Structure 1
Amino acid sequence: MNELHEQTKELAEKAQKDGVKITVDPKIILELMEEIENLELEMQEMDETPR
């Protein structure tokens, strides 16, 4: 996990404990979903590739 991801996760967890509501731009959610989809496709392709 990269440093920025780790820091973001820690901040989000702390905010959650403190009862802070974080608003995320829907555009970011869509970008993340797209990224996840791409990673899933890559993993599928790797699984299908004969070794």
Structure 2
Amino acid sequence: MISGIATAILLLTFLGIWAWAWSRRRKKDFSEAANLPLEDDSSLNKEREA
């Protein structure tokens, strides 16, 4: 009985995180994060010097 409740809670938690990650509101943030490795290093150095 307890293992079934724990499984249901974990499933709901997983589905909640999945829905949050794939929501339209998060798309911009994840797109920016995905492009970080492709950014020019010179722009990063200018930000560090300022």
Which category of TM-score, normalised to the shorter sequence, fits these structures? 0.3 to 0.5
Q: TM-score, normalised by structure 2?
A: 0.47
Which has more radius of gyration? 2
Give the number of the structure whose residues are more often helix, by fraction: 2
Q: TM-score, normalised by structure 1?
A: 0.46
